[in-house]
Chains A and B, each alone.
Chain A
C-alpha cells in the first residue's frame, strides 16, 4: 500500500491558524499514531487526510498522487469514527456492505466479504440487527468491520475507543493489535491516550498546539524525548520535573536543586557543562527512582512522603523534594509511614535535562 506524505500542511479557520505546517512521512503499511492533548490538531490533520476538512495550504500525497483537492471517495480510504457513525436504518450486514454496494460489486462477492469480516470480528450472529440493538462494543466492531470490508488502501481511526468504558477499551485495544497483525495496510490512528499510542503504534507522532513535537518509534520517544512536553506526555505515572542547576564541583559535575544533588555520569557531564545556561530542568521518570536506604549520597535523593496511593502491587507516592513535588513508585508491601523521609537511588543513565527557557532536551 502506498506511502503517505504530508507537506507543509496548514489549516486556518478564518484568520486563526490551527495547524502550522505539518511535515510528515509515513512508510508503507505503517501503523502511525497521532497523539496529543485536546485541541492539538491531531483530529484536524486526520480529517484533512480523509478529505472531510479542506486544506488551507500545503499538500497531501498518497503514493505520488497529490490528493488535497480530491473528494474523500477518490482517496481510497476507510475511516472509523469516534461515535462509530453507523447508518442507523441499516442492519449490520447492510452497514458493512454499503461501500461495496455503491461500487456495484457482484452480490456474491459482497456476501462473501461481509461474511468473512463478520466472522473475523465475531459479528456473524448480529448481521441482521440494527445499530440501535447492539451494545457499545458491538457497534465499535461493526464500525471496524465496515472499514475492513471496504478493502481500502488506508485506514483512518479517529479516537475509536474513547466512547467505551475502561475494561472494554482494554479488550478492544488488544483486538485491534491482533487485527493489526492480520491486516497489513496503512493505518493512521488518532488518540489522546498515550497507552493506546505506545501499545499500537509503529510510529508515534506527538502533537501539541498545531505543531509536531516529535515523531519516532514508541521506544525512541520514551527514551529520548526531544522536549519537556513529549517527556511529560508519554509514560504513566508521568515524568517528574525539577528546577535545577549544573555545577562543576572539583572534577565531578552535579545537577542540583532544592533538596537534591546528583552526580551526572561522565558522558552526560561534558554536554551539560557545554550548555550555555546554567539553569535547567531535570526530568526523571518514577520508574527510574528505586527505594534504597543505603545508596551513596551523590547517586540518591531524599524524599518526604506526603500521599501514598495504593493501586495494587505498586503504590504511587507523592513526595516533597525540598519545596517541589515528585512522584515515585514503590512496592506496596514496603513498610513506610506518611511524613517519613526515604532515600531513593537515581538511575543516573535515565536522567533527562531540558533547557529551562526553550524546554528542548539537552544532550
Chain B
C-alpha cells in the first residue's frame, strides 16, 4: 500500500532532477540537480500559468461556494417536485469532463453557439467567448462553476437537512427572520461541513484539465493556461519530462500546503475542545 503510494511520487521527484526527453530511457537521462526548478522560477510563462491557476481557483471556488450553498438554502424545503429538481441539479457532475468541454465549446461558438445566437436575437453583438483572453477566462470559469456547483450543493443540502429542527424553531420563536436564521444559526452550524467541502474543492480545482484543454487549450495566449494544462503540454508538446515532473512537484507542494492547512485546522480545533474539557472537569471537581 505504502509502496504503491510512494513509488510514483518518488519516481516523479527523481525525474524532476533530470533533463529527460521521451526518447530516452530514464537511466540515460542527464542528472541536472535542481536546475529544472530554477528554470521554472525564472520562466515568465510558468509564473503566468501559476497566477492564472491561483486566480482561477479563487474565483471558481468562491462562486461555487456562494451559489452552491445559496441553492441549498433555497431548496431546503418540501415542495412538490423537489426530489426531481434536486436530481436535475446534480446531473452536471455526472457528465465526463471531456463531454462537458465539448458541450460548452459548442455553446460558446461565435456564430452557431447558443449564447451568441441569443445575444444577437436580442439585438446585441456577439461576444468573442473563446477568442478574447478576458472572455476566455470567464468562459472557463462559467463551465467549471456549472459543472462543480452541484458538488457543493449536495453536500450543503445534506448539511442543512441534518441541522437540529427544534433549534431553528426556537430561533423562529425568538424572533429571527429567514435571513437571520441562515446567518446566525444555519451557517455557523454547517461550518465544519462547509470547510471540508471547500478544502476538497480547492484541492480538486488545481488539477482541472480536460474541460479547459477542450475549450481553449490554454489560449488565447496563456490567458487560460492553468498549471495542470501547462504540465500536460510541457510533457507532450515540449517533450521536457524533467521540467514537467518539477512542475508537478510544485503543484503537489501547493496541494500539500492546503491539505496540511486542513489537517492543522482540525488539530487546532480538537486541541481547543480538549482544553475546554480539561477546564470544565477542573471546574466540576
Contacts and interface: CB of A to CB of B under 8 A. Distances in A.
Contacts of B276: 133
Given A89-B188, A125-B283, A102 B169 contact: no
A88 B164 contact: yes
SS of B interface (majority)? helix
Interface stretch (A18-26, A75-83, A348-356): A75-83
Interface string A107-122: 0000000000000000
A87 B185 CA distance: 7
B166 A81 contact: yes
Nearest to A103: B175
Contacts of B184: 98
A99 interface: yes
Nearest to A149: B174
Interface string B171-207: 1111111001000110011000000000000000000
Interface in B136-178: 164, 166-167, 169-177
B176 A102 contact: yes
A87 B176 CA distance: 13
A150 interface: yes
Nearest to A50: B173
Interface string A53-81: 00000000000000000011100011101
A71 B166 CA distance: 16
A73 B164 contact: no
A336 interface: no
Given A102-B180, A129-B280, A88 B173 contact: no
Given A87-B185, A129-B280, A73 B174 contact: yes
B283 A98 contact: no
A71 B277 CA distance: 39
Contact of B169 (A81, A98, A129, A133): A81
A304 to B, nearest CB: 50
A52 interface: yes
Interface in B89-141: none
Nearest to B191: A89
Contacts of B166: 81-85
Interface in A2-54: 50-52
Given A73-B176, A102-B176, A102-B180, A87 B283 contact: no
A86 interface: yes
A147 to B, nearest CB: 9
B283 A72 contact: no
Contacts of A86: 167, 170
Nearest to A98: B174
Contacts, number: 64
B208 to A, nearest CB: 34
Interface in A108-165: 125, 129, 133, 146, 150
Contacts of B180: 102
Given A85-B166, A88-B164, A133-B276, A78 B185 contact: no
A101 to B, nearest CB: 9
Contact of B167 (A78, A87, A102): A87
B86 to A, nearest CB: 23
Contacts of A87: 167, 170-171, 185
A52 B169 contact: yes
Interface centre among A71, A72, A84 (most CB of B within 10 A): A72
Interface centre among B171, B174, B276 (most CB of A within 10 A): B174
Interface in B216-256: none
Given A88-B189, A89-B188, A129-B280, A77 B170 contact: no
Given A83-B166, A129-B280, A73 B188 contact: no
Contacts of A85: 164, 166-167, 169-170
A125 B185 CA distance: 25
B118 to A, nearest CB: 41
Given A52-B173, A86-B170, A102-B176, 17 more contacts: A50-B173, A51-B173, A71-B172, A72-B172, A73-B175, A73-B176, A77-B173, A78-B174, A79-B169, A85-B167, A87-B185, A88-B189, A89-B188, A102-B180, A146-B170, A146-B174, A150-B174
Nearest 5 CB-CB pairs, A to B? A85-B166, A99-B174, A73-B175, A85-B170, A89-B188
27 contacts: A50-B173, A51-B172, A51-B173, A52-B169, A52-B172, A72-B169, A72-B172, A73-B174, A73-B176, A77-B173, A78-B173, A79-B169, A81-B166, A81-B170, A82-B166, A84-B166, A85-B169, A87-B171, A87-B185, A88-B164, A88-B167, A99-B175, A102-B174, A102-B176, A103-B175, A125-B283, A146-B174
